[in-house]
Amino acid sequence: MSTAAEEVLAQAMKLDADEREWVAEELLGSLETMPPLSEAWQAEIRRRVEEIEDGTAELVPWEEVRDRLYERLHAKREG
């Protein structure tokens, strides 16, 4: 890694959590090469966010999702 990148990282790590999050989002956004989302996908994302916020979405913990995926993967390999 270049010295400049290491210096930027060192300075960024001194920021509070909200500022670091903003910097990370900006950096990640600068790497995106995907075209903008269609109106339909934007509407779907808004719908899903609303369900999460109003408590009607069925949320599954990551550990459970991971375990289900591993089970399916192992079942396919064995079957």
Once rounded to an integer, what is the mean pLDDT over residues 64-73? 95
Residues 30 and 46 grouped into a single domain: no
Structure tokens, 11: 């300075």
Residues 49 and 20 grouped into a single domain: no
Report the domain count for the chain. Answer: 2
Q: Which domain holds residue 12?
A: 1-34
CA angle in degrees (0–180, nearest 5) for 67-71-72 = 120
pTM attached to this predicted model: 0.45
Whole-number pLDDT of residue 34: 75
User: 20 near 12, Cβ under 8 Å?
Assistant: yes
Residues 7 and 28 grouped into a single domain: yes
Once rounded to an integer, what is the mean pLDDT over residues 26-48? 90
Helices (H), the chain: 3-12, 17-31, 39-54, 62-78
At residue 22, what is the residue type? W
- At residue 29 the predicted structure's pLDDT band, cuts being 50, 70 and 90, is confident
